[in-house]
A = this chain, B = another copy of it.
Amino acid sequence: MHTVSEAAKIILNHALALGREKIPLNEALGRILGEDLVADRDFPPFDRVTMDGIAIRHEQFAQGRRNFAIKSIQAAGAPQQQLSDPAGCIEVMTGAMLPDGTDTVIQYEQLKIENSEATILAESVNFRQNIHFKGIDRKAKDCIVSKGKKMGPAEIATAATVGKSVLQVSRLPRTAIVSTGDELIGVDQTPLPHQIRSSNAFAIQALLQEQYGMKSKLFHYPDTREAIQAGLSEIFDSFDLVVLSGAVSEGKYDFVPQILQALGVEKCFHKVLQRPGKPFWFGALADKAVIFALPGNPVSAFMCACRYLLPFLSHSLSESGRGPETAVLMEKVTFNPALTYFLPVRLEFGAEGVLQAYPLPGHGSGDLANLNDADGFLELPLDSDVFLSGTAFPLHRYRN
């Protein structure tokens, strides 16, 4: 049986080759950039005034001049003006081009203006002050955002600034989420005593939508070999990624591993040394699709999706590396089985910048309600039984 890190490595080795597609900028939020965003010209593109006030030649101030005749106004969005008389000044607005023949800006707060003449009240004025100089942030052709970055609000703004109304991004995998289990009924139905409503498929769908803006399709099959086999064989033709939950364990009706192999899916592993989620099965169908067959218990399915499916997607989408997160365990925890333990935790920031993790062990892999109270889970390694308060462990956070 594989360890968690072995299983994670095998999964990453089966990353999908998704390619890229072009999309309009207004659909790009959350997508992974497939090209560099390059400065189309210098940033800023001209010597830019950063305060409302007047622009002068500093040598005039240095020589003792305090009164400057206002020759004109340089507005933002207007072509560059010129100061012909070095003893004069031009009124300038934030965002405007610095007028030709000037080199220093003095803000209104340090001026008195009367009869078209500005008097400088400040005792000192620095040469070249209040100017954001052409090219100081970035030069034309510099890369501003590297491909692989997830498009957030700042990246959207940058794309707009460099004129990218259409962007190249990683294509998202066509994703099917399949649930099995005769005990499952629809959200709108009223369960009989032995039934429960379906929830795993909704949780995984929401997770993929939240993290990568993915729209996945849901399927449900009853617990018969024929139904599952017929359904899956159809799905494999039109999806890159198939996420199942349920029917992967040792039970009489746990047909999924056999059916997947009968359909030509290569088994990469079955079972991982972890709790919850030990029955997790993973395989690949040649170059066509990758199959995550998660356990059916809601906590198991959810944690496997967070721990394995999200990093797999990040890798398949060529997302640039996000650093791992850690949090400090705030209570001693004992866990004897020789398994990696995914411990649900509530997170809180300590005053000193420490992310604190308070254990919420819950009642095991069926305790869906407990996931609502937790914010993520710690990964407690299998080679220890006792985990001391004050120690940091890898964190998988599913709530920000």
- Cβ contact within 8 Å between B29 and A206: yes
Whether the pair B203, A157 counts as a contact (CB closer than 8 A) is yes
- Does A3 count as interface, using CB distance less than 8 angstroms? no
Q: Is the CB of B52 within 8 A of A250?
A: yes
Distance to closest chain B CB from A379 (angstroms): 13
Q: Of A60-68, A160-168, A285-293, which binds chain B?
A: A160-168
Chain B nearest CB: distance from A159 CB in Å? Answer: 8
Q: Do residues A156 and B203 form an inter-chain contact, with CB atoms below 8 A?
A: yes
Q: How far is the CB of A14 from chain B (nearest CB, A)?
A: 23
- In the bound complex, residues from chain B placing their C-beta under 8 Å from that of A350 are 326
The complex is assembled from copies of this chain, and their number is: 2
Q: Are B325 and A52 in contact (CB under 8 A)?
A: no
Known: A77-B223, A199-B161, A364-B50. A97 touches B193 (CB 8 A): yes
Compute how far the CA of A53 lies from the CA of B202 in the bound complex, rounded to whole angstroms.
29
Q: Assess the B398–A251 pair: CB atoms within 8 A.
A: no
Contact of A182 among B77, B152, B348 (CB under 8 A): B77
Contacts of A157 in B (CB 8 A): 199-200, 202-203, 206, 298, 302, 368, 371
Describe A's contact surface by its main secondary structure: loop
Say whether B398 contacts A153, CB under 8 Å.
yes
Known: A91-B252, A326-B352. A164 touches B187 (CB 8 A): yes
Q: Does A183 lie within 8 Å of B369, measured CB to CB? A: no
Instruction: Name the residue on B nearest A209 (C-beta).
Output: B29
* Interchain nearest-CB distance for A182 vs B (Å): 3
CB distance from A307 to the nearest CB of B (A): 14
Q: How far is the CA of A46 from the CA of B193 in the complex (A)?
A: 7
* Residues A355-400 near B (CB distance < 8 A): 355-357, 362-372, 374, 392, 398-400
B365 and A50 contact, CB distance less than 8 A: yes
A43 interface hit (Cβ, 8 Å):
yes
B75→A223 contact, CB < 8 A: yes
Does A22 interact with chain B (Cβ within 8 Å)? no
Distance between Cα atoms of A362 and B253 in the complex (Å) = 61
Inter-subunit contact A353/B326 (CB<8 Å): yes
Chain B residues lying within 8 Å of A30, measured Cβ to Cβ, are 210
* Chain B residue nearest to A164 in the complex (CB): B187
Q: Is the CB of B398 within 8 A of A75?
A: no
Does any Cβ of B come within 8 Å of A132's Cβ?
Answer: yes
25 contacts between A and B (CB under 8 A): A30-B210, A39-B369, A44-B196, A50-B366, A52-B250, A52-B254, A75-B252, A76-B223, A78-B194, A79-B193, A94-B251, A94-B296, A137-B370, A144-B372, A152-B210, A153-B207, A154-B203, A154-B399, A155-B372, A158-B368, A158-B371, A163-B188, A352-B354, A353-B356, A400-B400
Chain A residues engaging chain B, CB cutoff 8 angstroms: 25, 29-30, 39, 41, 43-46, 48, 50, 52-53, 73, 75-80, 91, 93-97, 107-109, 132, 136-138, 144-145, 149, 152-165, 181-184, 187-200, 202-207, 209-210, 223, 246, 249-254, 296-298, 302, 323-328, 348-357, 362-372, 374, 392, 398-400
